[in-house]
Structure 1
Amino acid sequence: MLQSIHHVAIICRDYPRSKAFYTETLGLQIIAEHHRAERDSWKLDLALPDGGQVELFSFPSPPARVSRPEACGLRHLAFVVEELDSVVAALQAKGVDVEPIRVDEYTHRRFTFFADPDGLPLELYELN
């Protein structure tokens, strides 16, 4: 049976910009980086502290992803944070536009959303 999520794969339009966002802005650590010349594509494996991974891919001229209004398919990617206010402040200090913090009506946990350079919705979810 399923045990956990191993990785999430993201396709980006501007590889250097997205690489900087995920490594410098979000602080994910690089596991491996490969250029696949036959596909004119980069693959960047990034580590999350819990062992999960984000795979960042680039391809020439990928089609735009529909995310708003809500579209069928993957809705967003959520990251667990220990203390939401400090993470939001750090992102805002780096120029990232973060939505106002909300409280989940069912779990009573605080969360917020922001977007990566290609507009992919990313969520910060506080467990404390």
Structure 2
Amino acid sequence: MKLSGIHHTAIICSDYPVSKRFYNEILGLNILAENYRSERDSYKLDLALPNGNQIELFSFPGAPKRPSFPEAQGLRHLAFTVQSIDESIKHLLSFDIDVEPVRIDPYTGCRFTFFQDPDGLPLELYEVTPVE
């Protein structure tokens, strides 16, 4: 087997309209497709990042909450690359989204910070500057 990349990350939300707005309007991910699956009373929203990676946003009635934060087994957080962490933080703050203080990755020297989606899923911004 030879993996060539990550196609998508799937997220189950508790309030579909709130999460749809967060990922589409606030984070700026483009909607590729939106489907309502009546047999499951569930939405599936396909969202795209500029590099082609995708997020699948699902709604499932009665889905259990995350067992603990942030060190539960399984997915720890989802990290997005940005060119300017300062501009990205300013954007999030304009929507009253709390952002942790910026840290420096001791191994790469890159700056990063964390914030949460509407369900408390930890999200990271990781600053990657273009190589000249």
Do Structure 1 and Structure 2 share a fold, with TM-score over 0.5? yes
C-alpha distance in 2 between matches for 1:69 and 1:99: 14
Comparing 61-70 with 29-38, greater Cα deviation is found at 61-70
> Structure 1 regions of 5+ residues with no counterpart?
none
> Structure 2 regions of 5+ residues with no counterpart?
none
C-alpha distance in 1 between matches for 2:88 and 2:70: 27
| Contact 2:103 2:112 survives alignment (8 Å) | yes
C-alpha distance in 1 between matches for 2:68 and 2:125: 17
**Aligned with 2:39: secondary structure?**
helix
The answer on 1:68 being equivalent to 2:74 is: no
Q: Which residue of 2 aligns with 1:17?
A: 18
| Contact 2:70 2:122 survives alignment (8 Å) | no
Superposed, 1:1-128 pairs within 5 Å as: 1-128=2-129
RMSD between aligned residues: 0.8
Letter in 1 for 2:112: F
**Structure 1 residue 67, shift from structure 2 partner:** 4.1
The count of corresponding residues between Structure 1 and Structure 2 is 128
| Contact 1:77 1:123 survives alignment (8 Å) | yes
**Aligned with 1:38: secondary structure?**
coil
**Structure 1 residue 66, shift from structure 2 partner:** 2.7
**Structure 1 residue 61, shift from structure 2 partner:** 1.1
C-alpha distance in 1 between matches for 2:24 and 2:60: 19
> Deviation above 6 Å: which 4+ runs of structure 1?
none
What percent of counterpart residues are identical? 64
**Structure 1 residue 34, shift from structure 2 partner:** 0.2
C-alpha distance in 2 between matches for 1:13 and 1:69: 18
* TM-score, reference length from structure 1: 0.98
